[in-house]
Chains A and B, each alone.
Chain A
């Protein structure tokens, strides 16, 4: 298995709410991506920031997911059928200067396929940790399986913090890799 870096984006402003990767090469077997960063807000709890993912610019009701996650020591589960986005909650911000950073890893098998049963599956592992040494403490971890129910090839991935006043922190990064399995 080899990884080829397709794009690496670093946020430099304090007004950015979307990172939209377009024109993704169709020459690989799978895609994987890393997001490392957080929301700039300081006025909501460290676990209140929600990161959204859209594929191919689609905002229709084609996103179904199942997730298990833990916030501090409380376990939660969530699921949405036919939502309009993949929503990852609890993805870090700057409450009490905590600089609670989030890390999101995603894997999309067979992203070019147009004949997948019920569309494309996106596997996500995510977490966010704040330390009491720098502010409000807390942590979350999440396992997430998303199903985008469109049988079209994926050539665009968009991340966003959609909440009003929610922006990507400077130096947040998003990296996209093409995977070759042979």
Chain B
């Protein structure tokens, strides 16, 4: 069973105890939400990268050099 460290600053105590079944279930729910969020962030980044590549290709089609495109888009 996973454990948690509980520090009570007021009492000056530290203990490590096993997590309850409810606490483990709550962590599993957090994990599911986290996976959804990470997938959304990665999808947004992938779309951004694709848009960037497409835009750079169009600039190249207009006759800009690679250095000129790099100077423009950073």
**Complex contact A22–B6 (CB within 8 A):** yes
The interface size of chain B toward A, counting residues with CB under 8 Å, comes to 28
Interface status of B57 (Cβ within 8 A of chain A): no
Contact B8–A87 (Cβ < 8 Å): no
Chain A, 1-43, CB within 8 A of any chain B CB: 6-7, 9, 11, 13, 15-25
Which of these binds chain B: A74-82, A94-102, A111-119, A128-136?
A74-82
Selected contact of B8 from candidates A15, A23, A160, A163, CB within 8 Å: A23
Q: Which residues of A contact B16 (CB under 8 A)?
A: 13, 16
Instruction: Give the size range of A's interface with the partner.
Output: 35 or more
The interface bits of chain A over 58-99 (1 if a CB of B lies within 8 angstroms of the residue's CB, else 0) are 010000000000000011111010011101010000000000
A20 to B13, CA, bound (A): 12
B13 vs chain A, min Cβ distance (A): 9
List A residues at the B interface (Cβ < 8 Å): 6-7, 9, 11, 13, 15-25, 50, 52, 59, 74-78, 80, 83-85, 87, 89, 160, 162-164, 167, 176
